[in-house]
Structure 1
Amino acid sequence: MTAHILVVDDDPVQRRLLKAAVEAQGHVAILADDGQTGLALFRQRQAEISVVLLDLMMPGMSGLDFLNAIGGQESDVPVIVQTGQGGIDTVVQAMRAGAFDFVVKPVSPDRIAAALTNALRVDSRDAHHRPARRSRSGAVHFTDIISASPAMSRVIELSRRAAQSHIPVVLEGESGVGKEMVARAIQAASDRASKPFVTVNCGAIAPSMVESLLFGHEKGAFPGAGERHLGKFAEADGGTLFLDEIGELPLEIQVKLLRAVQDGEIETIGARQPQKVNVRLISATNKDLIEEVKAGRFREDLYYRLNVFPITIPALRRRKEDIPFLARAFTERFSIEQRLPRPLTLGAGALALLTAFDWPGNVRQLENAIYRAVILAEGPELTENDFPQILAQIPGGLKQENFWTGLTALGEGASVPGQSRGLDREELAFIDRLPTPRVEDPRPAFMDNAIASIDENGNVRRLAEIEEELIRFALKFYRGQMSQVARKLGIGRSTLYRKLKDYGIDPDNPQKHAA
């Protein structure tokens, strides 16, 4: 099948070579000679672009800037980066920013062909399954929410209570934590379960179109209004309206939204009379709305009307107990979608790697990572090598001490729990052995690492001794991540390096004492 490939490179010779390589595979090349032009073409023709071939080192907008501009790891379009300059650090940065693959110049036509083939496999599967995933999420129940953590159990408990009333709910949390899934579960458990569930992403609408989209317009209400249009409020009448990223609504629209919430009436553009609607409103935001109110970007009266029943969904890094179960569920699901003869399993190394990572894109990023790994997998088991983007972001990689200790038993897939299932003894032991313990959780096990303030003679220890011991502990605890060590100790990096020198501490082996 013919695909459209966007080639972004400031070198005219390289553009011609890539164009020839793309066309040799039977595809269409769209050429851009710099990052800004490429970004404009991408936004203009995003629906038809299947893959981006991107040069990292360009004047003006660099390849990394381009990746960030199109959404990085949240982008649905695979990006293959190419570089002829810089070392592995540059490539790692690109992978962290969401690149799908990378090639090093001069690149052979065979290597380009292989990279395009892999990227197109992912893109075609994405295009095929997006509608299925949306329709599947249309019937979400609380039992469908995979959770083994107390934090998510609390979210589900509050959501069940919210489902028993019609009061407005605000779901707070970072992008990708699953706010829409919780909203759909609330709808399914309410007396409006058989009524419409209408979603609006307020951050994805042009400001000039928001009012018409939400409240509708009459025919001839403004130039271009050739026919009457029902707004989302009217579509959701009797059911639930989910307003995602509500903090992005323009102030002038917030006034009309306040009336809709307060009086149950909407003003359709061009209509002579307001229209009564019966809508249950669930809003979601990744912003701190009270700070938006203080900054004058969100109306205070609307805030208090909406924020009647707030529910905060924690980031995935704060509920790492859920990661093994989510990972297994996604692996099984995508194995079925791929029509594999046998579902893939998650190896102990892959499971440890996924659980150690902090997932800034939360559940959505975890889902995408496993989706791509399943599509590109060549064996019966997913290993750590099937997640190169994640592996590149673990300081010390696979060579860090004790990374794999005791984890082999986790290679076998366990059943995926609903929100009521807890962790068994083996899984709890696994969480306790993670390379990056969650600092937010004051586990009793941390007492084993307590630093004594009194010596064996009963005297208070010297401050320098305690400081040295604390630095050694922090280096081991954060696995040599100097920026994090300095930040957690409350000192600058230069101060940290000076103290390492003063105490003779080797950051790669902090427990070793100088002779």
Structure 2
Amino acid sequence: MAAHILVVDDDPVQRRLLKNAVERYGHVAHTADNGRAGIEVLKRESGRINVVVLDLMMPEMNGLAFLDALRDMGAEIPVIVQTGQGGIETVVMAMRAGAFDFVVKPVSPERIGNSIANALKFDQREATARAGRRNRSGAVGFDDVVSASPSMMRVIDLARRAAQSHIPVVLEGESGVGKEMVARAIQSGSDRSSKPFVTVNCGAIPHNLVESILFGHEKGAFTGATERHSGKFADADGGTLFLDEIGDLPLEVQVKLLRAVQQGEIETIGASKPQRVNVRLISATNKDLIEEVKAGRFREDLYYRLNVFPITIPSLRRRKEDIPHLVRIFVQRFATEQKLDRPLTLTPGALALLTAYDWPGNIRQLENAIFRAVVLSEGNEITENDFPQIATQVPGYISYDGLTVIEGGHAPRRAAAVEAGGDHSRQEQVTHSEEATESPATFIPENVIASTDPGGNVRKLAEVEEELIRFALKFYRGQMSQVARKLGIGRSTLYRKLKDYGIDPDDPLKEAA
């Protein structure tokens, strides 16, 4: 059944390209040239819109204002935000405002189609059913691998191709990126899907037991061998053997592994003749194997036998687009496992915090953080306060929009300062004295932009942006190229913002004169 997708973008070329991409995937496209027009389409269609693809920078009503209006309407529609700048600050603002996903321009039809598919697939009932099915069967397919980012889409494409053959695969990547899950998906997508999938963590086995565990031993083969042990290769016969952390395999065992790969034979300890096995081998490592070869810790001939089809899985900090999807899946899975009698969701602020963090432990660390938050949750929502350890490790998270908290007065305030006479912006914390409590605004220096109004309320983002642009024009004396470069935007974007805010580029120069 075709879904209805609303595209909100002020650029007619981009709007047409997105419309074509939406229709290419069999959906019905609705378009609007700004946020206000987009809200009118939502009202007119009265519940028919399934997903919104939203540009952030637009006249009349920008993307963040659109998200605010959508929240005020009480509409729970997944919104995919487009941003021309991939900075984490922009992403955090979008996630805090309630965005479901984000894409960086220029976006390919495949990427936007994949993001729309994720938004359409994700609803609470499906996630709960999926979590329940996985708990019962343990099977993992390619549909279970989160693939919102282009880098993971590439990984899945390679893995699907590998699944169609028996070629040896090496999965490279940091610990916790999901190498075993990709390996299970390859097994599930191959003609061995009904056969055993056997996992061995080479780094967790004592060196003197690795050979016995992999290849087995006969009764009485060595002291303590009171009975016969078949070994992991024999257990995986006809199926797939997943050798995790293969870089930790002892050199003496690597020789026997090479023979198993080359000839399809294993030598059981104590046996009189080799045993034939039919095993698909998938290896994984968080080490640079070629460096291990150079250091003499890994056999070169084995390296070239195993490294026929390498697939590198990026770290989570390199594919932050995947974080919102992973978080929602984990929340629903753990809520189901904990048998919670209430629906559980994440606030936009919590989602923004989790997206901003770099996750050195990758997906495994994220999963554990969500598990803890679900177990300790008491209400219907998980908030930033449920991740105190994460919040302390996100640099400048409290001032994610580049504004520093100012202590003093009756409430926290924020300001961003530009150091006069310097080439770089810096954040300067201003502490109010006791005399300043009655009128704190009067003590803000001329080159500081306040983020709260006299009433103590946070100012609109557009107001702060307009003030910063006016200051930059004055500071760099109207040199447009330098203004755009220092603000981190293109000249065409700067000129568009000048037009949106009704700023005459010559006004600051007249004031300075």
Q: TM-score, normalised by structure 2?
A: 0.53
SS at match of 1:193: coil
Residue by residue over 1:208-246, the C-alpha shift from the partner in whole angstroms, topping out at 9 and shown as x without a partner, is 000000000000000000000000000000100000000
Asked if the contact 2:353/2:397 (under 8 Å) is kept, the reply is no
SS at match of 2:324: helix
SS at match of 2:398: helix
Asked if the contact 1:217/1:230 (under 8 Å) is kept, the reply is yes
Residue 385 (1) aligns with residue 390 (2): no
**Matching residue of 2:274:** 274
* C-alpha distance in structure 1 between counterparts of 2:159 and 2:367, whole Å: 23
1:147 Cα deviation (Å)?
1.9
SS at match of 2:330: helix
* C-alpha distance in structure 2 between counterparts of 1:182 and 1:381, whole Å: 31
**Amino acid corresponding to residue 325 of structure 1 in structure 2:** H
Residue 327 (1) aligns with residue 330 (2): no
1:338 Cα deviation (Å)?
1.5
**Matching residue of 2:238:** 238
* C-alpha distance in structure 1 between counterparts of 2:376 and 2:240, whole Å: 39
Task: Determine which structure has more spread, i.e. the larger CA radius of gyration.
Answer: 2
* C-alpha distance in structure 2 between counterparts of 1:198 and 1:213, whole Å: 12
1:402 Cα deviation (Å)?
5.5
**Matching residue of 1:208:** 208
**Matching residue of 1:168:** 168
- Cα 1:176–1:137 change in 2 (3 A) is farther
* C-alpha distance in structure 2 between counterparts of 1:313 and 1:170, whole Å: 10
- Cα 1:460–1:154 change in 2 (3 A) is closer
- Cα 1:403–1:289 change in 2 (3 A) is farther
* C-alpha distance in structure 1 between counterparts of 2:266 and 2:172, whole Å: 26
* C-alpha distance in structure 2 between counterparts of 1:230 and 1:147, whole Å: 38
- Cα 1:190–1:334 change in 2 (3 A) is same
* C-alpha distance in structure 1 between counterparts of 2:288 and 2:382, whole Å: 38
SS at match of 1:140: coil
* C-alpha distance in structure 2 between counterparts of 1:141 and 1:278, whole Å: 22
- Cα 1:397–1:150 change in 2 (3 A) is closer
**Amino acid corresponding to residue 161 of structure 1 in structure 2:** R
1:398 Cα deviation (Å)?
2.2
Asked if the contact 2:134/2:140 (under 8 Å) is kept, the reply is no
**Matching residue of 1:153:** 153
Asked if the contact 2:247/2:298 (under 8 Å) is kept, the reply is yes
**Matching residue of 1:477:** none
Residue by residue over 1:360-408, the C-alpha shift from the partner in whole angstroms, topping out at 9 and shown as x without a partner, is 011111110000001001221000000111011112342454589xxxx
* C-alpha distance in structure 2 between counterparts of 1:459 and 1:141, whole Å: 52
**Amino acid corresponding to residue 273 of structure 1 in structure 2:** K
Residue by residue over 1:133-153, the C-alpha shift from the partner in whole angstroms, topping out at 9 and shown as x without a partner, is 996673101011122111111
* C-alpha distance in structure 2 between counterparts of 1:134 and 1:191, whole Å: 20
- Cα 1:137–1:206 change in 2 (3 A) is farther
**Amino acid corresponding to residue 252 of structure 2 in structure 1:** E
**Amino acid corresponding to residue 346 of structure 1 in structure 2:** L
Unaligned runs of 5+ in 1: 1-131, 405-447, 474-515
- Cα 1:460–1:240 change in 2 (3 A) is closer
* C-alpha distance in structure 1 between counterparts of 2:307 and 2:392, whole Å: 40
* C-alpha distance in structure 2 between counterparts of 1:341 and 1:459, whole Å: 58
**Amino acid corresponding to residue 214 of structure 2 in structure 1:** L
- Cα 1:259–1:135 change in 2 (3 A) is farther
* C-alpha distance in structure 2 between counterparts of 1:280 and 1:400, whole Å: 48
1:458 Cα deviation (Å)?
9.3
Residue 177 (1) aligns with residue 177 (2): yes
SS at match of 1:317: helix
SS at match of 1:284: strand
Q: TM-score, normalised by structure 1?
A: 0.53
Question: Between Structure 1 and Structure 2, how many residues are aligned?
Answer: 290
**Matching residue of 2:307:** 307
**Matching residue of 1:349:** 349
Give every structure 1 segment of 4 or more consecutive aligned residues whose post-TM-superposition deviation is greater than 3 Å. 132-138, 399-404, 455-461
How large is the RMSD of aligned CA atoms in angstroms? 3.0
Asked if the contact 1:212/1:231 (under 8 Å) is kept, the reply is yes
* C-alpha distance in structure 1 between counterparts of 2:164 and 2:197, whole Å: 16
- Cα 1:280–1:211 change in 2 (3 A) is same
Residue by residue over 1:243-300, the C-alpha shift from the partner in whole angstroms, topping out at 9 and shown as x without a partner, is 0000000000000000000000000000010111000000000011011111111000
Residue by residue over 1:16-36, the C-alpha shift from the partner in whole angstroms, topping out at 9 and shown as x without a partner, is xxxxxxxxxxxxxxxxxxxxx
**Amino acid corresponding to residue 290 of structure 2 in structure 1:** I
**Matching residue of 1:119:** none
SS at match of 1:170: strand
* C-alpha distance in structure 2 between counterparts of 1:373 and 1:365, whole Å: 12
Residue 289 (1) aligns with residue 289 (2): yes
* C-alpha distance in structure 2 between counterparts of 1:337 and 1:229, whole Å: 35
* C-alpha distance in structure 1 between counterparts of 2:133 and 2:165, whole Å: 28
